[in-house]
Amino acid sequence: MKLTPTDKEFEEGFIGECLDRGFNVTQTDAFYKSALYAQAFDQPEFLAGFNEVVGPHRAANMSLLEKAACVKEYMDSLAE
């Protein structure tokens, strides 16, 4: 069974591993959010919307981690 970031077991393991490696709570939260945002790209509609917003050429040249960080930055800006 493949766990996803929204599974309780994944969440607990991810957080535990980050803390075991010495990351603080803020860093762990940022990493976890990036994992959640990366998972959203599995949805064709989300990927299509992202490509439309950032442009297909730019999106094609971004890694999944870069795309997730871009979404995280945007979502964080909404919370301010």
Domain boundaries, the chain: 8-78
What is the reported pTM? Answer: 0.71
- pLDDT tens for 23-62 read 999 999 888 888 889 989 999 999 999 999 999 899 999 9
Write the burial class of residue 14 (CB in 10 Å: 0-12 exposed, 13-18 middle, 19+ buried). middle
Residue with tokens 């959640």: 36
The per-residue pLDDT for 79 is 84
